[in-house]
Amino acid sequence: MAIEPLEVEKWLREEKGSEGARYHGVADEGVPARQFAEVIGRRLNVPVVSKSREDMADHFGWIGQFFAMDGPASSEWTRKRLNWQPKEPGLLADLDQTHYFAARVASVA
C-alpha cells in the first residue's frame, strides 16, 4: 500500500518548488499570541490576561516557552518564489469559526 503525499507536498511539486527549501504557506504575517488568546477567550467567554515572558512558563508549563518566543512566520519569500497568493481565510478568521467551539457530547457505552 502506497502512502499518499500530503497536500502541501503535492502543491509544492506542482509549483516547482526547490527540494529542501522551506516554504511558509501562511496568509497572515506575524500574528501575536495575544490575538489567538483574544479570539479563544471571546469564543469561550473567559477573561484574557497578559503575562510577562517570565510568568509564561509558570502559567503555561513547558509550552509557555513557545508563547514567549518572537518567531513570526512570513510567506513573503514563498509568495515571490512560487508566484503564490493565499486564497483561504487568514489564521485568526479561520480560528474564529463556530465549529472550533461547538460543544461536543461524549457518549458512554
Say whether pTM exceeds 0.95: no
Mean pLDDT in the chain?
80
- Which residue would you say has higher pLDDT here, 87 or 2? 87
Q: How far is CA 109 from CA 42, 86, 99, 105, 106, in A?
A: 34, 44, 25, 13, 10
Q: What is the pLDDT of residue 83?
A: 85
Q: Report the pLDDT averaged over residues 29-40.
A: 88
Q: Looking at 15-29, 32-46, 60-74, which range is the least confident one?
A: 15-29
Q: Rounded CA gap, 109 and 106, in Å?
A: 10
Confidence band, pLDDT 50/70/90 cuts, at residue 2: very low
- Which residue would you say has higher pLDDT here, 80 or 1? 80
Q: What is the pLDDT of residue 35?
A: 92
